[in-house]
Amino acid sequence: MKLNATTILSVRHQGQVALGGDGQVSLGDSIMKADAMKIRHLLDGKVITGFAGGSADAFALLERLEAKLKNHPGNIPRAATELAKEWRTDRALRRLEAMVIIVSAEHTLLVTGIGDVIQPTDGILGIGSGGNYAVAAARGLVAHSQLAAGEIVRKSLEIASGIDVYTNDQIVVEELESHS
C-alpha cells in the first residue's frame, strides 16, 4: 500500500523516540494545504500517532485507536492489534485508505488496513510517499552522527522533502522519553 500523501517518520535512538511529519496536503498533482497537522497525541500524551493517506479516513481510525487504547491501557500492541483486526474485518472500515504509526515509550508500531501490525527491528519507521527516502536518511544519520532522535527525524524529513514532490518542509516533530 503506497500512499502519495505525505511523509511520516519515527526514530527510536539514544533513549528518545521522535515522530514527525510534513504539512503538505495534495489532491492529485495540486498542493491544497502546506501546514496540515498529521501528528496527534493520544492517551494523555503517552502515545503519539502519525498518519498518511486520506485525512478523513485517518481521523476515523485515530478515533477508533483512541477507544482501543482506553480499553487496553498500558498495552499498546494489543490496542494496535485490535484496531488492525477491526479495520480488516469491518465492511465500512475496509474501504479506508490510510496508514498509522503509533509510538509510546516502549513501542513503535505500523498499523495498516490489511491487518499488519509491524514493529521495526531498528526503531526506524516511515510511511507515505517519501517514507522510504526519510528512512534511508534516518538510518544513515543514526549510524554516522551523534544527533538526538528528534534532530534525526527533522533532518531526514528535510531530505525527503527535497526528493518527494508530495512532501514539504513544514515539519512537526514530537518526542517522548524511550524505555527501550
Residues 6+ apart with CB under 8 A from 180: 12, 105, 106, 123
Are 139 and 14 within 8 A, CB to CB?
A: no
Residues tagged active-site: 6
What is the separation of C-alpha 24 from the centre of its chain, rounded to a whole number of angstroms? 15
Task: Please state, in angstroms and rounded to a whole number, the distance separating the CA atoms of residues 9 and 126.
Answer: 4
Residue type, 91: R
Rounded Cα distance between 138 and 120, Å, is: 13
**The C-alpha cell that represents 19 in the structure block:** 515522530
In whole angstroms, give the CA distance from residue 39 to residue 51: 7
In whole angstroms, how far apart are CA 34 and each of 10, 63, 69, 152, 180? 21, 24, 30, 22, 34
